[in-house]
């Protein structure tokens, strides 16, 4: 069996950033306008008044302070409340591809690999830009990579599931080096008029080079992978081409991201903590031998709770489980890789866990060791 490594990773995120104050200010102005315009209906009980959002709630409930987004102006425009993005069009590069190329070039530089050395491209994302041709094949074409490319969707675990597929392809002899790309352009799928959802997501992209016997300075050996899924309706996006022809067709705003956040919190924290504990145990690694837990970035309290359940104490330094969520918000499947990329300056032999979890439910935990 060869050693298979995460040879390098790269990130891309938009320059534009929205603070909680800016977001709440827009949201509350929207609420004021809605309630004023619907005053008589609210008074006769036929319309429910909208409630105000608050910076304090957002920071306390989620740990999010800001998010980077593809279009700040559109999201903060109370007559629009969504980013201005473009449709997919033949002859124009997909925004997912553009983001993917930037993160990929960064990852390839860190891994010290050229396009000729790459045998395949796997795109894993929670929201694909289109059904076909695959985004991965467009990235493959733009970067002059030979071999094969395909897209896959596993909600918030798409990034780690894609790394797992790359590992399996290499282990089976199909490839020696795979580029994994994870564009998460989330804000077009968010209903910014919903108080419970408007603060959650940001946009970003990560890429990683998975390689047999990497010589990269930044390489981490993949020691073990553990995947788990369990069906739940607690996080859903019903957006689909079926709506166009559906006999029960609805306004597509109603088909976007929706979750029972409290339910997710209660189900997923114990699930992930016991999965990682079992995995460490199987690999004869004690929890206190793990230098970093690079966990999915959905909620700061969840990250802290899962870490404390694994370590068996809540007395641990904050930097064991880095939280880029504060600056970037929830980046769907790339949250754990943002945490990894920004905080992986470890010594040879140090071990860490990269773990995503979310819609499905889906969980993928990868134990790595710095070489
Ligand atoms: C979404 C999340 C931050 C909400 O936090 P929470 O503590 O569960 O909050 P709740 O939804 O129970 O709401 C608590 C109260 O705050 C109110 N509230 C909701 N949004 C609010 C806002 N923006 N501003 C002010 N109050 C708000 C609710 O109406 C509720 O009021 P009530 O108690 O009077 O009914 C949290 O549940 C979470 O992150 N869950 C995990 C989600 C997850 O992992 N998803 C994966 C997706 S990738």
Whether residue 54 has its Cβ less than 6 Å from ligand 1:
yes
Examine residue 306 and state whether it is found in any structural domain, yes or no.
yes
CATH number of the CATH domain containing 351? 3.40.47.10
Per-residue 3-state assignment (H helix, E strand, C coil) for the chain: CCCEEEEEEEEECCCCEEEHHHHHHHHHHHHHHHHHHCHHHHHCCCCCCCCCCCHHHHHHHHCCCEEECCCHHHHHCCCCCCCCCCCCCCCCCCHHHHHHHHHHHHHHHHHCCCHHHCCEEEEECCCCCCCCCCHHHHHHHHCCCCCEEEEECECECHHHHHHHHHHHHHHCCCCCEEEEEEEECCHHHCCCCCCCCCCCECCEEEEEEEEECCCCCCCEEEEEEEEEECCCCCEECCCCCHHHHCCCCCCHHHHCCEECHHHHHHHHHHHHHHHHHHHHHHCCCCHHHEEEEEECCCCHHHHHHHHHHHHCCCCCCHHHCCCCHHHHCECHHHHHHHHHHHCCCCCCCCEEEEEEEECCCEEEEEEEEEC
Count up the domains in the chain and report the number: 1
pTM over cut 0.95? yes
Tokens of 84: 């201005």
Q: What is the mean pLDDT of residues 234-249?
A: 96
Examine residue 292 and state whether it is found in any structural domain, yes or no.
yes
Examine residue 209 and state whether it is found in any structural domain, yes or no.
no
Examine residue 232 and state whether it is found in any structural domain, yes or no.
yes
Whether residue 334 has its Cβ less than 6 Å from ligand 1:
no
Closest protein CA for atom 18 of ligand 1? 196
Examine residue 314 and state whether it is found in any structural domain, yes or no.
yes
State pLDDT tens for residues 202-232: 999 999 999 999 999 999 999 999 999 999 9
Query: Does the structure show a pLDDT above 70 at 1?
Result: no
What pLDDT does residue 2 have?
76
Examine residue 176 and state whether it is found in any structural domain, yes or no.
no
Mean pLDDT of the chain: 97
Confidence tier at 300 by pLDDT (50, 70, 90): very high
Examine residue 331 and state whether it is found in any structural domain, yes or no.
yes
Query: Does the structure show a pLDDT above 70 at 36?
Result: yes
Q: Which of 154, 196, 263 to mutate to test the pocket of ligand 1 (most atoms within 8 A of CB)?
A: 196
What pLDDT does residue 182 have?
98
What pLDDT does residue 282 have?
98
Q: What is the mean pLDDT of residues 274-291?
A: 98
What pLDDT does residue 255 have?
94
Q: Which of 61, 127, 265, 355 to mutate to test the pocket of ligand 1 (most atoms within 8 A of CB)?
A: 61
Whether residue 88 has its Cβ less than 6 Å from ligand 1:
no
**Structural domain of 308:** 221-370
Examine residue 277 and state whether it is found in any structural domain, yes or no.
yes
**Ligand 1 nearest-atom number relative to CA 196:** 20
Tokens 């124009």 belong to residue: 92
Whether residue 53 has its Cβ less than 6 Å from ligand 1:
yes
Based on the residue annotation, tell me whether 156 is a catalytic residue of this protein: yes
CA distances from 62 to 197, 202, 328 (A): 11, 13, 12
Tokens of 175: 């490839």
């Amino acid at each position: 069996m060869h050693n298979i490594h995460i040879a390098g990773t790269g990130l891309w995120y938009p320059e534009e950033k929205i603070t909680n104050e800016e977001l709440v200010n827009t949201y509350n102005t929207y609420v004021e306008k809605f309630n004023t315009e619907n005053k008589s209906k609210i008074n006769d009980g036929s319309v429910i008044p909208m409630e105000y959002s608050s910076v304090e709630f957002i920071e306390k409930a989620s740990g999010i302070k800001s998010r980077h987004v593809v279009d700040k102006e559109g999201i903060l425009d109370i007559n629009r409340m969504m980013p201005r993005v473009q449709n997919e069009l033949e002859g124009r590069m997909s925004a997912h591809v553009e983001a993917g190329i930037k993160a990929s070039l960064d990852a390839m530089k860190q891994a010290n690999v050229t396009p000729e050395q790459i045998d395949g491209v796997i795109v894993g994302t929670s929201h694909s830009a289109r059904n076909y041709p695959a985004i991965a094949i467009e990235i493959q074409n733009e970067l002059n990579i030979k071999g094969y490319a395909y897209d896959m969707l596993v909600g918030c675990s798409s990034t780690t599931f894609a790394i797992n597929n790359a590992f399996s392809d290499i282990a089976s002899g199909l490839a020696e080096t795979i580029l994994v790309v994870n564009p998460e352009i989330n804000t077009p799928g968010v209903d910014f008029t919903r108080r419970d959802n408007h603060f959650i997501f940001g946009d970003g992209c990560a890429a990683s080079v998975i390689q047999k016997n990497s010589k990269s300075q930044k390489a981490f050996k993949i020691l073990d992978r553990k995947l788990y899924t369990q069906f739940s309706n607690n996080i859903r996006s019903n957006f689909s081409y079926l709506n166009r022809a559906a006999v029960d067709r609805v306004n597509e705003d109603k088909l976007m991201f929706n979750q029972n956040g409290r339910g997710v919190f209660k189900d997923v924290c114990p699930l992930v903590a016991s999965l990682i504990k079992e995995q460490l145990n199987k690999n004869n690694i004690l929890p206190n031998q793990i230098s970093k837990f690079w966990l999915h970035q959905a909620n700061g309290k969840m990250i802290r709770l899962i870490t404390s359940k694994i370590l068996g104490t809540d007395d641990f330094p904050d930097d064991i489980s880095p939280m880029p969520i504060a600056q970037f918000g929830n980046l769907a499947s790339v949250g754990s890789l943002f945490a990894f990329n920004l905080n992986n300056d470890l010594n040879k032999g140090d071990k860490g866990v990269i773990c995503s979890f979310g819609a499905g439910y889906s969980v993928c935990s990868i134990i790595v060791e710095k070489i």
